[in-house]
Chain A
Amino acid sequence: MSVEAREARQPWILLSPALTAVGLLLFVPLLFIVVYSFWLRTASGADQVGFYLDNWNEALTDAFYRDILLNTLKIAVITTIVCALMGYPSAYFIARSKGNKPLLLLLLMLPFWISYIIRTMSWINILGVSGALNTLLLWLGIIDEPIQMLYNETTVILGLVHYLLPFMVLNVFVSLDGIDTTLEDAANSLGATRWQAFTQVTLPLSLPGLAAGSLLCFVLGAGTYITPLVLGGPTDAMFANLVFEAIITQLNWPLGSALSLMLLVVLGLLVMIYNRYLGMAQLMKGLG
């Protein structure tokens, strides 16, 4: 074998274990559930192999699934907007701060390292019937008995925002930090006000970071089922909860496959649109 041929083969030898793992543990399983979604769960509990459209028919036409899907998207949109409103100014503050930037960023990223389930349940300590807020309000005499603030859609969104905000801050920070600050000075010297300089120079330049952060918040938020289980009420199920119900509780795996694929297509479309217009590079900058 020539030296060139060996040189050309080497990277593939290094890549093969990882590519094999992703192929066998992700791509083949995804294809497999496409097939599985056309099988049928019979009354006896066995899966009937074949080509049945029943699961898809149920998943796509039943108003129950449609409503929960729409509600899931609504929750994800609100979460993303709140993350942007809270995260953008914070990232701006860190990026333009005269102080210790890495420390400020590290501080805001620390919760990112703290366990998701701990952070989610920590809100029970704050908003629960005997939580910090009720205790404070009682002590101040504003209320006479504890109010139930937990287990509704608002607390689900609150939990999601607390979970996802670091993703937004990091992505916006990365793109703000890469903007030459003399551009703003130039705009100012040409007669623009601070606000104009921000809205016409800095904000447009930081949009890729805002878009990357928003995509992450939306996709991760729309795919969660733990937060509604911990902070939501009985009627606050999100779409991933339906998947969990079908697979783990009802053991209806063909239907669960169809529901999973629905979620994948809806969120995948979004990722693809993003990739088409903005590319994956920005997203990786924020993750790496």
Chain B
Amino acid sequence: MMAPLGWQLIRGWAILVYLFMFLPVAVVVLLSFNASQFGSFPMTGFSFRWFVELWNNDAILRAFQTSMILGALTAVISTTLGVLASLALVRYRVPGANAVTTMLIAPILVPEVVLAVALLLFLNFLGINKSFTLLLFGHVIFTLPFVILVVQARLVSIRRDVEEAAMSLGASPMQTFFQITLPLMMPAVLAGGLFAFTISFDDITGTLFWKPGGVETVPTQIFAMLRNSISPEINALGTVMIFLTVGLPLLGAAIARKISNKGGT
């Protein structure tokens, strides 16, 4: 046992840190149910009106749609690229594997602002202006390293002998991949995709550089709204985002656990 006093100090400090992390977020959720027409204290009553207004705000709904489509496409492309690369790195002896890995995670070693500027200027030079395509390219390259790190970590734990057994029983490499390897990899693939989606959905640093005028994602929409003043609508939108970005990964983790449990021990 730790000396009780020292341990109590550490525990007290940790509790303060937890409060520091959660209080501001809790206040956002609390204020989003505030009946008052100003987005601030005091609370005057409990109301869903800001969520109703959110639902009736075309600009926000459009931003939501853009973010969803962008996130989904980013997740599909990034996960496909990432899973293939991870398979190569985990399953084969690649000469210079360390250098290859460093190259693949380079997009997160470069400050995102610099990545954003370089991509914008280069693609503009090639004739691709600020557009949804540019946004998609940007989000793919920025999320790819995260997918590779997550998928690689999960792939390592899949044993190879099941595949070898399938092959020795006469399955073709294709059959083996789709009937054995892919199902076993599914939790890793889902985790990678979900990670890519969440990061894309949340991104603002690069997005502000790449987005064409008039197109907003949810974070850039919130940023634009903050320019005026903080309204309860932003808090309501924040609450929706909090439940989405916290709820989705938790749901994903639960599904992944269920699938891997069903897959046998």
A interface residues, Cβ below 8 angstroms from B: 7, 10-12, 14-15, 17-19, 21-22, 25-30, 32-33, 36, 86-87, 89-90, 92-94, 96, 107-108, 110-111, 113-119, 121-126, 128, 130-132, 135, 162, 165-166, 194-195, 219, 222-226, 229-230, 240, 243-244, 247-248, 253, 256-257, 260-261, 263-264, 267-268, 271, 280, 284, 287-288
Contact = CB atoms under 8 A, between A and B. Distances in A.
Given A114-B246, A223-B112, A162 B14 contact: no
A28 to B, nearest CB: 6
B114 A264 contact: yes
A18 B82 contact: yes
A228 to B, nearest CB: 12
B162 interface: no
A89 to B, nearest CB: 5
Q: For the complex of A and B, list the 7 residue pairs with the smallest distance between their C-beta atoms, beginning with the closest.
A: A223-B111, A29-B122, A29-B118, A122-B24, A130-B40, A14-B88, A11-B92
Contacts, number: 248
A104 to B, nearest CB: 9
Given A130-B38, A223-B113, A287 B149 contact: yes
B119 interface: yes
Contact of B121 (A87, A125, A253, A264): A253
B68 interface: no
Nearest to A94: B14
B22 interface: yes
B125 interface: yes
Interface of B: 2-3, 6, 10-11, 13-14, 17-18, 20-25, 27-28, 31, 38-42, 80-82, 84-85, 87-89, 91-92, 94, 100-115, 117-123, 125, 137-138, 140-141, 144, 146, 148-150, 152-153, 198, 201-202, 204-205, 208-209, 218-219, 222-223, 226, 230, 234-235, 238, 241-242, 245-246, 249
A107 B100 CA distance: 34
A261 B150 CA distance: 29
- Among B25, B89, B118, max chain A CB count under 10 A is at B118
A111 B21 contact: yes
- The main secondary structure of chain A at its interface with chain B is helix
A18 B209 contact: no
A116 B204 contact: yes
B205 A126 contact: no
A260 B117 contact: yes
Contacts of A21: 81, 140-141, 144
A242 to B, nearest CB: 10
B256 to A, nearest CB: 15
Contacts of B234: 121
B28 A122 contact: yes
- The main secondary structure of chain B at its interface with chain A is helix
9 contacts: A15-B89, A17-B80, A89-B14, A110-B246, A115-B219, A122-B238, A162-B20, A162-B21, A223-B112
A11 B89 CA distance: 7
B230 A124 contact: yes
B84 A15 contact: yes
B70 to A, nearest CB: 15
Given A122-B238, A128-B230, A260-B114, A288 B152 contact: yes
Given A18-B104, A280-B102, A86 B140 contact: no
Nearest to A161: B20
A121 B222 contact: yes
